[in-house]
Amino acid sequence: MQSLIQSTCCSIDSTMLLSTDGLDVIVFAVGFDAITGALLDIDIRGRGGQTLAARWAAGPRTYLGISVAGFPNIFMITGPGSPGVLSNMVVSIEQHVDWISDCLAELQVRGCDRIEASAEAESAWVRHVNQLADATLYPRAPTSWYVGANIAGKPRVFMPYVGGCGRYRREVGEVAESGYAGFALGTVPAEAARLAPVGSGGNSR
């Protein structure tokens, strides 16, 4: 197959592609900023006004693929550190929506209006996700969009959870059943917004 990058495209109409090399087929593959792109397109700010983009400057870090330390009350659907793109997305989205809905209901029962992942729980989850990934060949694909290679300047970090949906469901279910271990729940006055931001750091091993 000849690459269009090395060919001169003369014209395209409703029936064909004409080029100096006689090509007559074009495949549109424009790429996309997977897993983190949609989140980073939003100006999400946490404690101390820290942006999510700054927090993830060296790569995304999450707890359960759902929450981020330093960002109270943030919930992500199929975020980095969850099975997401390696699963049936609709099923994974539904599972996250159910988990988050149950969490919000529990917060209401407790009279809480704030939930935040701890930095320790986040770091432990990042290590867990990395350990699972290191047992596979996924992180060894340097040009894969799984590591952000299709986006110039994006940190090369393997982002999905590869332990399988069943295991993931059990693990996040156990967090909920334990009273949301790894999260701080409570009610915090507005002054808390002036707390120093959590330091940034990549999905380091």
**Is 128 exposed, middle or buried (CB count within 10 Å of its CB: 0-12, 13-18, 19+)?**
middle
* Average pLDDT estimate for 47-73: 96
Q: What is the pLDDT of residue 32?
A: 81
Q: pLDDT tens digits for 93-137?
A: 999 999 999 999 999 999 999 999 999 999 999 999 999 999 999
Spatial separation of the C-alpha atoms in residues 44 and 40, rounded to whole Å? 8
Q: What is the pLDDT of residue 1?
A: 44
Chain CA centroid to CA 14, Å: 38
With vertex at residue 119, the alpha carbon angle to CA 142 and CA 177, rounded to the nearest 5 degrees, is 100
* Average pLDDT estimate for 55-73: 97
Q: pLDDT tens digits for 71-97?
A: 999 999 999 999 999 999 999 999 999
More confident residue, 196 or 91: 91
Residue 174 has pLDDT above 60, yes or no: yes
Residue type, 189: P
| pLDDT confidence band for 142 (50 / 70 / 90) | confident
Residue 35 has pLDDT above 70, yes or no: yes
Q: What is the pLDDT of residue 193?
A: 43
